[in-house]
Amino acid sequence: MILQNLSIKRKLTLITMLTSSIALILSSVSFLIYDLVSFRNLLSQDLMTQAEIIGYNSAGAMEFKDEPAATATLSALTAKEDIVTAVLYKPDGKIFAHYFRGNAAFSGFLPIHLQKKGSRFEGGYLEVFQEVTLNGEHVGTLFLQSDMRQWSLRAKRYANILIIFVLVSGLFALFVSSKLQGLISKPILHLEDTMRMVSSNKNYAVRAVKTYSDEIGRLIDGFNTMLSEIQQRDTALQSTNGELKTRTQELEEEVFQRKQAQEELLKAKHTAEEANRAKSTFLANMSHELRTPLNAIIGYSEMLEEETRDTGKIENVQDLRKIQGAGKHLLSLINDVLDLSKIEAGKMALHLENFDVSQVIEEMVTTLKPAAAKNGNSIQVHLADSVNTMRADVTKVRQILFNLLSNACKFTDHGTVSVNVDQIKFENREWIQFQVRDTGIGISAKQKENLFQEFAQADASIARKYGGTGQLMKGQIWVESEPGQGATFTVRLPAQVVFEATENVQSESAGKIPAGPSETKTGRETILVIDDDPSVRDLMSRFLSKLDFHVVAAANGEEGLRLARQVDPLLITLDVVMPECDGWTVLNKLKSDSKLAGIPVIMVTVVDNEAMGLDMGAANYLIKPVDRDRLAVLVEKHRVARTSITDTDLVPLSYVAEGPAGRKTVGARVPKTRRN
């Protein structure tokens, strides 16, 4: 509807106008109708009266047949403008006299059937019949016809008056309502203006002015209250915003300062790390430097001891042994320092591989037999059935066990050192647990405290490095002991060590067996020693010769390669640090030559990088000064592997194994020629 979208002003005016006009018109029209109806009745009565008079007056004329007199009587109706026709009928229905207004012949219609008396409205005319009587005798009938000119004139006049009245009063109503509508529309328009001002300028300080205390007044009050609330909130919001901004700035400044501090810290850290690394590098280098002369000291003292013993100069043997012992002690100290520095420098890496636990134990026991025998100790091995292979850094495991066992042998006199190996389940994981028990002097509580500290006394030289090593493999170590009651060291390592950062897929060096038929030129096997250090060459030659090997030595890489092709040795020992062609190059060339690739290579060097050596194809990795017992075991192993295809005369190595199966034969085989 168009009406709905009109402004409130117009709506109010329109409503007022419509209402008043309708009321006015309705009342006027009803009044008009009432008046016209009653006026018509009046007219009709008037006409009847007229008819009576005329009828009375015409009676004589009718009776005396005086037509002119009757006509004259009728002519008196000229004064009555609305009478159109007047006719006197004789009793037989014939016209006696007539009158037509304005002398027009017949402006109306004459009735066909005469009535005695009465009035009727017919075809816009008012018609009246009047009986003319004389002394109660019917002498004729008078017919009067009126066009109600008066009535229609009156109606016309009334209609005009009504129109003018409605127009005038409408104008008046318009005037009044346009004045009065302001009472309602003005405050609303004012409210609207205020609202627009507020929303367009965002000025919440503006207030609408209340004019009256009606509903609109209350509306304005409510609006103002709302505005003041919004204003309050706006102010609060702004101040909060300002605070927030300040805080943000402060925070930014703080962040900036912290960043600077962090950078400084980072710099300091880098510097410290650099210094530490330099220290570690220095230590590592120093250890290497120290090892080379120690090599000679230990090697030659051992040689001398043997030769002296052979010549029967027993008194010198003791002295030589003391030199040898001191050398070895010094070596172990240096090794400790080296390992510690490596852990600190983060260079300690794990080289994970699968290996047979029983084999490692066997090697260990073989190696330590002489040390045990020295104090009159016996070594017992208990290997549980369930223990099979584990995945860990075999070198580290060996180191831990070696230290534990050698210590046990050292502090026990004429007793028993037992090794128990178990596979257990703990915290939902599979663990291999090694227990080394002795019946020696034991460890006091105070000693225990310092036991796993860094740089502890040589008595507890397993020190933290093993803890550290163990921890690298997520293992645990602890000791149970009472003074004089012996000691039990327990090491627990995961059966499957996972150490992603440094895990390397190792070549299964232990199981690597050179292909091709063995070729024995002489009764003795040939070993090629490649080292630029003449003392090492000398010592190795002498040691290996004693083990019934034929030794060929080369002073550099080139010569080594040439000799390797020439003599086709059982195995090759290779130094790394050599002038011109270093050990890595030689190893690479050996492994890339199809003829030579099958020859096992044992790296013998001061460079501690076993992982790299094994990666490049070396069978074993020994660090100088060479542990001669270990070298002997390794060399023996390779000889067995070489001859195993033809030589079946092997003696099984037996262990005392725990578990329901009782004694058990494990897979490793030891050649009968092995010396214990």
Partner 1 sequence: MLRRLGILIVALSVSLSGTPEAFAQAPDSRDSSEYLIKAGFIYNFAKFVEWPSAAFAQPDSPIVIGILGTDPFGPLIDQIVENKKIGARSFVVKRLKWGTDFKELRDCKILFVGASEKAHVDELVQIVKTLPILTVGETPGFAERGGVIRFVLEDNRVRFEVNVEAAHQADLTISSRLLTLARIIQQAAAETRKPG
Give the three-state DSSP class for 275: helix
In this structure, the number of other CB atoms found within 10 A of the CB of residue 283 comes to 18
Query: How many Cβ atoms are within 10 Å of 48's Cβ, its own excluded?
Result: 18
Hey, is 351 helix, strand or coil? coil
Taking the complex as a whole, how short is the minimal distance between the CB of residue 96 and partner 1, in angstroms?
Answer: 8
Using the minimum distance from each CB to partner 1, give the nearer residue, 99 or 158.
99
Nearer Cβ to partner 1 (53/286): 53
> Cα(81)–Cα(63) distance, rounded to whole angstroms?
28
CB of 98 to partner 1, least distance (A): 8
Least Å distance, CB 145 to partner 1, is: 13
Residue 522's Cβ-side half-sphere holds a number of Cα atoms within 13 Å equal to 10
Beta carbon of residue 56, minimum distance to partner 1 (angstroms, whole number):
7
66 vs 636, beta carbon nearer partner 1:
66
- Sheet with 95-100: strands ordered across: 95-100, 83-89, 137-146, 125-134, 118-122
Which residues, 304 to 333, sit near partner 1 by CB under 8 A? none
Is 61 or 641 the residue whose CB approaches partner 1 more closely? 61
Minimum CB distance to partner 1, residue 55 (Å) = 11
Which of 3/112 has CB closer to partner 1?
112
Cβ at position 25, least distance to partner 1 in Å = 37
* DSSP conformation letters of 4-23: GGS-HHHHHHHHHHHHHHHH
Handedness of CA 41, 45, 50, 54 (dihedral sign): positive
Spatial CB neighbours of 375, under 8 Å, sequence gap ≥ 6: 409, 410, 412, 413, 414
Where helices occur in 439-582 by DSSP H, the ranges are 445-451, 463-472, 534-546, 557-567
Distance, CA of 125 to CA of 115 (rounded, Å): 16
Write down the residue that tokens 């997520």 correspond to.
Answer: 474
Q: How far is the CB of 99 from partner 1 (least distance, A)?
A: 13
Task: Give, as ranges, the residues between 218 and 247 that touch partner 1 (CB under 8 A).
Answer: none
Cα–Cα distances in Å, from 277 out to 281, 283, 345, 404, 420?
6, 10, 6, 30, 40
* Binding map of partner 1 across residues 51-70, x = CB under 8 A, - = no contact: -----xx-xxx-xxxxx-x-
Q: How far is the CB of 167 from partner 1 (least distance, A)?
A: 40
**Please, what is the minimum distance in Å from the beta carbon of residue 87 to partner 1?**
9
Contact residue for partner 1 among 1, 3, 79, 112 (CB under 8 A): 112
Closest to 553 in 3D by CA, of 207, 83, 539: 539
Quote the least distance from Cβ 68 to partner 1, whole Å.
Answer: 9
How many CA atoms does the CB half-sphere of 276 hold within 13 Å? 14
Q: In angstroms, what is the minimal distance from the CB of 120 to partner 1?
A: 16
The span from the CA of 419 to the CA of 434, in Å, is 7
73 or 280: CB nearest partner 1? 73
Number of chain residues interacting with partner 1 (CB under 8 A): 22
CB closer to partner 1 out of 57 and 476: 57
Q: Which is nearer to partner 1, 37 or 95 (CB)?
A: 95
Could you tell me the two tokens for 303?
């040689």
* Nearest-approach distance from CB 148 to partner 1, in angstroms: 20
Distance of closest approach, residue 69 Cβ to partner 1, in angstroms: 5
Strands 378-384 and 657-658: parallel
Q: Which amino acid is at 298?
A: I
Cα 98–Cα 103–Cα 106 angle in degrees, nearest 5: 65
Is the CB of 136 or the CB of 312 nearer to partner 1? 136
Could you give the string, one character per residue 425-454, with x where binding to partner 1 holds by CB under 8 A and - elsewhere?
------------------------------
Among 76, 110, 296, 596, contact with partner 1 (rule: CB under 8 A): 110
Closest Cα partner for 433 from 404, 462, 458?
404
Q: How far is CA 504 from CA 99, 355, 601, 602, 611, in A?
A: 149, 14, 19, 19, 8
Find, among 328, 464, 470, the residue nearest to 392 by Cα: 470
Q: Contact at 8 Å (CB) between 503 and 438?
A: no
Give the x-and-dash track for 90-109 against partner 1 (CB under 8 A): ----xxx-x-------x--x
Nearest CB to partner 1, comparing residues 136 and 662: 136
State which residue, 29 or 69, has the beta carbon closest to partner 1: 69
Tokens of 29: 């029209």
> How many CA atoms within 13 Å lie on the side-chain side of 209?
3
Residues paired with residue 133 on neighbouring β-strands, in sequence order: 138
CB of 180 to partner 1, least distance (A): 58
For position 135 contacting partner 1 by CB under 8 A, the verdict is: yes
Q: How far is the CB of 92 from partner 1 (least distance, A)?
A: 9
Nearer residue to partner 1 within complex by CB, 99 or 411: 99
Taking the C-alpha atoms of residue 19 and residue 46, their distance in angstroms, rounded to an integer, is 40
Q: In angstroms, rounded to a whole number, what is the distance separating the alpha carbons of residues 594 and 641?
A: 20
Q: Which is nearer to partner 1, 69 or 219 (CB)?
A: 69
Select 68 or 346, whichever has its Cβ closest to partner 1.
68
Q: Which is nearer to partner 1, 92 or 649 (CB)?
A: 92
Phi, psi of 80 (to 5 degrees): -90, 105
Residues engaged in binding partner 1 (CB under 8 A): 56-57, 59-61, 63-67, 69, 73, 94-96, 98, 106, 109-110, 112, 134-135
